[in-house]
Amino acid sequence: MNNLLIAPIILPLLTGMVLIVFQKNIMLQRILSLVALLATIVTSVLLMNQIRDGGIQTLQLGGWEAPYGISLVGDMFSALLLLATSIVSVGCLVYAFSSIGRRQEKLYFYPLFLFLITGVNGSFLTGDLFNLYVCFEVFLVASYVLITVGGAKRQLRESLKYIFTNIIASAFFLIGVAYLYSITGTLNLADLSIRISEIGQDGLITTVAILFLIVFAMKAGLLLYFWLPGSYSVPPTAIAAIFAALLTKVGIYAIFRMFTLVFYHEPQITHLFIGILAAITMILGGLGASGYSDLRKILTYNVIISVGFIMAGLVSLTPAGITGSIYYLIHDILIKAIVFLIGGTIVHLTGTSDLKNISGLIRLHPQLGWMFFIAALSMVGIPPLSGFLGKVFTTQGVFEAGYYWLGIIGLAASLLILYSMIKLFMNAFWGETILSVEEEKGTTKGLLFPIALLTVASVALGVGAEAITGYVAQAAEELLNPNLYIQAVFE
Amino acid sequence: MKPNDVILKSVTRVAAVIISTFSIYLFMNGHHHPGGGFIGGLSTASAIVLLYLSFGIEKVRENIRVDFKKLAAIGVLIALVTGMAGVVFGKPFLSQAFGYYDLPIFGNTELASALIFDTGVALAVIGTAVNIILSISEDR
Amino acid sequence: METLMVILVGILVSIGTYLILSKQLLRIVLGVSIVGHAVNLLIITSGGLKTGSAPLLGEKAAGFADALPQALVLTAIVINFAVTAVVLVLCYRSYQSFGTDDMEQLRGNEHE
């Protein structure tokens, strides 16, 4: 029993509720939400150290024992993601302070933002399939409202599509839950894992596994990403950044959890299928990223490529591959927030997202340009930046497992990332400066600090990778050995 | 044209009271029998919505001066804080406690911390349900 | 009885799919919520349909119904209710600002 596990869920939720009561006081809202998220960072670091020393931590809510009650389980994988989530959310929150506008701040922006974090943290920590659904819905409902913040016409239009897609995916999620419950009679993930290994993963269960894969692929943007470019390019920058950083990652987390803990018996069917999906995702995402000349579109397609790449590590099911995926996942959470914040800042400065009308920004905004350059190199995987280790380990794992085609496609996709990011950099930052300071639509006042914060975090992740090696290795070991998880829940 | 809603209004006057009473019964019944904070709160909300329907939003708002958004938030806060109480005593989150006490009038009564939690749930449900109806019906 | 329920779920899902595929926003909302109800029925069926009293200590009955699917359905219904409310408000807002509820006219990809 470890009550610290509830803290990453309860802190943002409690603060959000308090903020609804004090809706009018903007200063209080800013301070409290910042304090809550900083406290979440502290708790996730504490949690990481406890997990390192004492193995996987569990909490049975209300003292009801494992298969009957609600379990929260924190393993190293969840704790690392929690830490990355809270760092990114602090960055986006600080960015929102000076960009979101007073009117939105009074219209419950901060409570909604905190509920989004609540749902994401809850999904990382829950040890129960149905609670995973509930946490998904918590952050989805928050995102339904956040995506329309500002109420512009195209936001309404895209949000409708986003919402309908997600509702249907959620319906499929529940169908999967119902099937799994009628087959196994339990929804606790550890208990599910035991029962499925007892009765064997027959065709029926594999079918249900594919159903879950479809659901989470829809959320993660694995092949079923048709909704993603539209809906991630409409909301205000801070919100788009947090969406790009976190929402697809929760889907990825769910795929990792389900296919390492529960449905791991038939990798030649399920994992190969994921591999094919990942390969197609990388190819299509790469084509999208290199084909468009719209800044926001390029960035959203880069989100899609990275989803495919992270999945490749899972497909390999080797220690190296999983380690690489975890590195890349953490790196990607940070880096996607950075590039979306920078992209949003560029749009804010120039008033357009069409690369043809943006040029030479580096003369007036050198910090922005170089931070983007660091982020771009990091995405491609240039050492010693944070993307490097993830790329190396994932590729190594994929080749070890014999999926040469997947590894090659992954490397080719990296080239397309390089191409698209350099295209963006050259177009937006180099060339003739066409806008003078007076002509710019906005200022970068207050916007650079959060970006710099996240860039420092990302560079630190790359340069100081030695410090988290132990944590990542433990996370990979726990993912590859479901018995550790099961024992922790039923201790 | 003013709609003729004499029947609705007269029925509502009686029915709202009955529904509210029944919702309190459901709420208190919930500890050992079917019922509880959720369903109690929902039936209270239905009484309030009935009032809104028959007397109009403005008139009810004058008489029930409650911000339902804040009510819902306070409800969730109560529920969460009750859950946190377990943490203070070193028990898991959401642990509950109960005991038997001799109270005047009621005699030997069972008091449970789950009741406070349920009150929070009820407030949250009332707040949310009424709020949803209000926000759909607003701005014609 | 379970078979009948499953057939009913199938019928509801097909009705929902038909409505979701239409162009009008309101029909899509209805379709989505019908699919939601079908899923709720499926969850109830997943625990097996039995006769028995409520699974509470006070009831001294011979058989108890499976409580878990009912708890799940209750939660799912509430979430469905909340989401439907959000969607309805959003549809109304978009109808106001676009003056149409035709999804065909809400495509808007031609200049992006």
Is the predicted pLDDT of residue A243 greater than 90, yes or no? Answer: yes
Domain range spanning residue B91? 6-137
Chain A interface test: which of C2, C94, C111 (most A C-beta within 10 Å): C94
Is the predicted pLDDT of residue C111 greater than 60, yes or no? Answer: no
pLDDT of residue C109: 58
Q: Does B85 touch chain A (CB under 8 A)?
A: no
CB-nearest partner of B135 from C56, C74, C89: C89
**Is B132 close to C85, i.e. CB distance below 8 A?**
yes
The answer to whether residue B125 sits within a structural domain is: yes
Average pLDDT, chain A: 91
List CB contacts (< 8 A) between C91 and chain A. 160
Rounded-to-integer distance, Cα A466 and Cα A126, Å: 29
pLDDT tens digits, one per residue of A18-28: 999 988 888 99
- Whether the Cβ atoms of residue A78 and residue A43 lie closer than 8 Å to each other: no
Rounded-to-integer distance, Cα B28 and Cα B36, Å: 7
Q: Which has more confidence, B60 or C31?
A: C31
Please state the rounded mean pLDDT for residues A109-117: 95
Rounded-to-integer distance, Cα C87 and Cα B136, Å: 10
Question: Coil, helix or strand for B25?
Answer: helix
**Is B33 close to C74, i.e. CB distance below 8 A?**
no
Instruction: Count the neighbouring beta carbons within 10 Å of the beta carbon of residue B110.
Output: 12
% of chain A surpassing 70 pLDDT: 100
Q: Which has more confidence, B56 or A333?
A: A333
**Is C81 close to B132, i.e. CB distance below 8 A?**
yes
pLDDT tens digits, one per residue of A298-310: 999 999 999 999 9
Rounded-to-integer distance, Cα A149 and Cα A221, Å: 23
Q: Which has more confidence, B10 or B108?
A: B10
Strands B98-103 and A71-74: unpaired
Residue length, chain A? 491
The DSSP code for B91 is S
Is the predicted pLDDT of residue C112 greater than 60, yes or no? Answer: no
**Domains of chain A by residue range:** 3-489
**Is B32 close to C89, i.e. CB distance below 8 A?**
no
pLDDT of residue C38: 95
**Closest chain C residue by Cα to residue A297:** C112
Instruction: Count the neighbouring beta carbons within 10 Å of the beta carbon of residue C7.
Output: 10
Is the predicted pLDDT of residue B2 greater than 80, yes or no? Answer: no
pLDDT band for A214, please (50, 70, 90 cuts).
Answer: very high
Please state the rounded mean pLDDT for residues A125-144: 94
pLDDT of residue C59: 62
Q: What DSSP line would sit under A392-415, residue for residue?
A: HHHHHHHHHTT-HHHHHHHHHHHH
Is the predicted pLDDT of residue A107 greater than 50, yes or no? Answer: yes
Copy the structure tokens of residue A160.
């409708």
Question: Coil, helix or strand for B133?
Answer: helix
Rounded-to-integer distance, Cα A167 and Cα A172, Å: 9
Please state the rounded mean pLDDT for residues A102-117: 90
Question: Could you tell me which residues of chain C have a Cβ less than 8 Å from any Cβ in chain B?
Answer: 54, 56-58, 74, 81-82, 85, 88-89, 92
Is the predicted pLDDT of residue B112 greater than 60, yes or no? Answer: yes
What residue type is A120 in one-letter code? V
User: What percentage of chain A's residues is helix, strand, coil (to nearest 5)?
Assistant: 80, 5, 20
**Is C56 close to B34, i.e. CB distance below 8 A?**
yes
Average pLDDT, chain C: 85
Is the predicted pLDDT of residue A447 greater than 80, yes or no? Answer: yes
Copy the structure tokens of residue B45.
């909300």
pLDDT tens digits, one per residue of C19-68: 999 989 999 999 999 999 999 999 999 887 877 777 766 666 777 778 88
Q: What DSSP line would sit under chain C, residue for residue?
A: -HHHHHHHHHHHHHHHHHHHTSSBHHHHHHHHHHHHHHHHHHHHHHT-----B-S-TT---S-B--HHHHHHHHHHHHHHHHHHHHHHHHHHHHHHHHS--BGGGG---TT-
Instruction: Write down the pTM of the prediction.
Output: 0.94
pLDDT tens digits, one per residue of A141-156: 999 999 988 878 888 8
Q: Under CATH, to which class is C2-49+65-103 assigned?
A: mainly alpha
Q: Which has more confidence, A129 or A355?
A: A129
Which candidate, A199, A197, A202, A177, places its Cα nearest to that of A187? A177
pLDDT of residue B139: 63
Q: Does B76 touch chain A (CB under 8 A)?
A: yes
- Whether the Cβ atoms of residue A311 and residue A277 lie closer than 8 Å to each other: yes
- Whether the Cβ atoms of residue A229 and residue A288 lie closer than 8 Å to each other: yes
Please state the rounded mean pLDDT for residues A153-175: 91
The answer to whether residue B89 sits within a structural domain is: yes
Rounded-to-integer distance, Cα B118 and Cα A247, Å: 32
CB-nearest partner of B34 from C54, C57, C92: C54
Q: Does B11 touch chain A (CB under 8 A)?
A: no
CB-nearest partner of B87 from A3, A18, A21: A3
List CB contacts (< 8 A) between A160 and chain C. 25, 90-91, 94, 103, 106
Rounded-to-integer distance, Cα A238 and Cα C67, Å: 42
Which of A390-394, A415-419, C19-23, C66-70 is predicted least confidently?
C66-70
Mind telling me how many Å the CA of B13 is from chain A's nearest CA? 31
Mind telling me how many Å the CA of A114 is from chain C's nearest CA? 18
Is the predicted pLDDT of residue A179 greater than 60, yes or no? Answer: yes
Helix (H) or strand (E) holding A60: strand A57-60
Mind telling me how many Å the CA of C85 is from chain B's nearest CA? 7
List CB contacts (< 8 A) between A63 and chain B. 91-92, 95
**Domains of chain C by residue range:** 2-49+65-103
Instruction: Count the neighbouring beta carbons within 10 Å of the beta carbon of residue A426.
Output: 12
Distance set, CA A336 to CA A157, A286, A303, B111 (Å): 24, 16, 7, 52
pLDDT of residue C40: 94
pLDDT band for A165, please (50, 70, 90 cuts).
Answer: very high
Please state the rounded mean pLDDT for residues A326-333: 94
Is the predicted pLDDT of residue A54 greater than 70, yes or no? Answer: yes
Domain count, chain B: 1
